[in-house]
């Protein structure tokens, strides 16, 4: 029955195809746009260090837990939890994931829409001539505060995502990622090499890689942990949904390892482009802000012969990488509605896509487009609630669910079903049952303090 079911839901073509698609979900704006922003707002290198620890000790643990639930149950998050623990309040994990998916999709698509705007800007010559930080600042501010433009781009981006998801998982995602990811990777390496050889790069490298431990704080740890979940697409059941398409004979541990590794590599490389270039343009590392990437990349392209072509390629790839991520965000609520509520895929994609667009409008207007949303920083607050807190809560519940409710024994049986080695088993179990949940609880208590002053 398993086999039949898998065929019906559309299994991945191969293990490589699964890894490509999961990497496609993980790699996106989170790596190239959000990660450098977080670094610059949270003390530079010390954040990078905490981030790497968070990924290795906690992110990987949750990744493997989610993939294991997914492959075992072959279902969307709500169905998966219900399958393991029928009629229990644990289903809440699934519902939380569905809601979080819709909300992250909404504001994520705002920035994804900007990438389309920047393709057009580059193509029409906005960055020809001398590119200074004043110029890129001006272009960014004018662009993101134009209400009709950003709303239109948001609509366009969610529209593309909706179209692909309505066509079904396999055809949609595999095709994209196979071509996209390798080119993106090569381009990023090339740009990093260029950035590292810019005059003045060393100041930026020091800011990025030489930790100043006096800047370590609870806030730094909180944002590093949140960023790890965000970047790896964890804490809302994306990897449960994707894991449900992995074949029984595949090695879950190495799949989880590959996705975690390549995602982290891309984020770290993105930082190696941003911070040296920032230093080159004469700005300090902590200028921060959500516009960082859009203001800095045009500067590095102006330092490369034929930079125009590279800029076009880069913004197109960034747009594509964002698309493989928004697909995975929309896939969670859609898989839930299709599997549990028996909606048609098309109807589910259309309705959820439209809902995300509506919720995304105030986020799109948070950059000067409309005073009220700019003043309350709707975008930033939304990102904090759904991109940090909600994912951390989700990840915590997943650890507790797998570690104590479903049970480590059952999870490990699933992991072993392909007869593979699992050398780091004791470490994983320790992290799943103790380290990860305790770290997340600690951080959530800290947030309460932070919010209540």
| 76 lies in the site for ligand TRP, by CB under 6 A | no
In angstroms, give the least distance from the CB of 326 to ligand TRP: 7
Structure tokens at 359: 């919720």
d(CA 390, CA 396): 10
Among 236, 256, 296, 337, binds ligand TRP (CB under 6 A): 236
Structure tokens at 34: 């959000």
| 158 lies in the site for ligand TRP, by CB under 6 A | no
In angstroms, give the least distance from the CB of 339 to ligand TRP: 18
Among 24, 30, 36, 320, binds ligand TRP (CB under 6 A): 30
In angstroms, give the least distance from the CB of 86 to ligand TRP: 26
DSSP state of 343: -
Dihedral sign from CA coordinates of 99, 105, 106, 108? positive
Among 37, 144, 227, 325, binds ligand TRP (CB under 6 A): 325
Dihedral sign from CA coordinates of 138, 140, 145, 146? positive
- Identify which of 45, 293, 292, 300 has the alpha carbon closest to the alpha carbon of residue 198: 300
- Identify which of 359, 401, 403 has the alpha carbon closest to the alpha carbon of residue 92: 401
In angstroms, give the least distance from the CB of 184 to ligand TRP: 12
Among 22, 24, 31, 240, binds ligand TRP (CB under 6 A): 31
Nearer to ligand TRP, 139 or 268 (CB): 268
- 87-116: which residues touch ligand TRP (CB under 6 A)? 104
Q: Which residues contact 236 (CB under 8 A, 6 or more apart)?
A: 77, 96, 97, 100, 101, 104, 332, 390, 391, 394
| 28 lies in the site for ligand TRP, by CB under 6 A | yes
Among 25, 244, 302, 366, binds ligand TRP (CB under 6 A): 25
| 233 lies in the site for ligand TRP, by CB under 6 A | yes
How much of the chain is helix, strand and coil, in % rounded to 5? 80, 0, 20
- 364-403: which residues touch ligand TRP (CB under 6 A)? 391
| 328 lies in the site for ligand TRP, by CB under 6 A | yes
d(CA 226, CA 203): 27
| 260 lies in the site for ligand TRP, by CB under 6 A | no
d(CA 251, CA 449): 42
- Identify which of 208, 228, 236 has the alpha carbon closest to the alpha carbon of residue 439: 228
| 26 lies in the site for ligand TRP, by CB under 6 A | yes
Phi and psi at residue 124, to the nearest 5°: -95, 10
3-state secondary structure (DSSP) of residue 189? helix
* Total binding residues toward ligand TRP, as defined by CB under 6 A: 16
In angstroms, give the least distance from the CB of 202 to ligand TRP: 29
In angstroms, give the least distance from the CB of 443 to ligand TRP: 17
The residues of the shown chain that bind ligand TRP, judged by CB under 6 A, are 25-26, 28-31, 104, 230-231, 233, 236, 238, 325, 328-329, 391
């Amino acid at each position: 029955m398993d086999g039949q079911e898998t065929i019906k839901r559309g299994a991945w073509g191969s293990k490589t195809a699964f890894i490509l698609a999961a990497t496609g979900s993980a790699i996106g704006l989170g790596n190239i746009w959000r990660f450098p922003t977080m670094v610059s707002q949270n003390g530079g290198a010390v954040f990078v260090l905490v981030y790497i620890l968070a990924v290795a000790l906690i992110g990987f643990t949750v990744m493997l837990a989610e993939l294991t639930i997914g492959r075992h149950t072959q279902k969307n998050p709500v169905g998966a939890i219900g399958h393991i623990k029928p009629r229990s309040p644990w289903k809440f994990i699934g519902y939380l994931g569905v809601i979080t998916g819709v909300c992250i999709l909404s504001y994520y698509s705002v920035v994804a829409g900007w990438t389309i705007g920047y393709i057009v800007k580059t193509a029409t010559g906005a960055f020809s001539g001398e590119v200074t930080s004043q110029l890129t600042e001006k272009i960014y501010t004018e662009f993101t505060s134009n209400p009709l433009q950003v709303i239109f781009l948001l609509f366009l981006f969610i529209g593309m995502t909706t179209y692909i998801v309505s066509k079904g998982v396999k055809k949609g995602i595999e095709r994209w990622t196979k071509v996209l990811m390798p080119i993106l990777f090569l381009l990023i390496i090339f740009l990093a090499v260029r950035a590292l050889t810019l005059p003045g790069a060393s100041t930026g490298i020091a800011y990025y890689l030489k930790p100043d431990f006096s800047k370590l704080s609870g806030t730094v740890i909180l944002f590093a942990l949140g960023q790890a979940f965000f970047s790896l697409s964890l804490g809302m059941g994306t990897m449960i949904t994707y894991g449900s398409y992995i074949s029984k004979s595949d090695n879950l541990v190495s799949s989880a390892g590959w996705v975690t590794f390549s995602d982290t590599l891309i984020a770290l490389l993105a930082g190696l482009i941003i911070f040296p270039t920032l230093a080159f343009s004469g700005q300090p590392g902590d200028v921060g802000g959500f516009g960082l990437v859009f203001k800095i990349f045009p500067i590095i392209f102006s330092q490369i012969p034929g930079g125009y072509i590279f800029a076009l390629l880069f913004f197109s790839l960034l747009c594509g990488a964002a698309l493989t991520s928004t697909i995975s965000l929309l896939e969670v609520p859609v898989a839930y509605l299709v599997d549990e509520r028996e909606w048609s895929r098309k109807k589910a994609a259309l309705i959820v896509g439209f809902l995300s667009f509506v919720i995304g409008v105030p986020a799109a207007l948070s950059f000067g487009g409309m005073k009220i949303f700019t003043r309350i920083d709707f975008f930033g607050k939304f990102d904090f609630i759904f991109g940090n807190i909600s994912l951390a809560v989700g990840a915590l519940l997943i650890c507790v669910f797998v570690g104590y409710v479903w049970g480590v024994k059952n999870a490990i049986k699933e992991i072993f079903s392909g007869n593979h080695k699992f050398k780091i088993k004791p470490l994983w179990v320790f992290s799943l049952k103790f380290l990860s949940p305790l770290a997340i609880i600690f951080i959530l208590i800290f947030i309460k303090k932070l919010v209540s002053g």
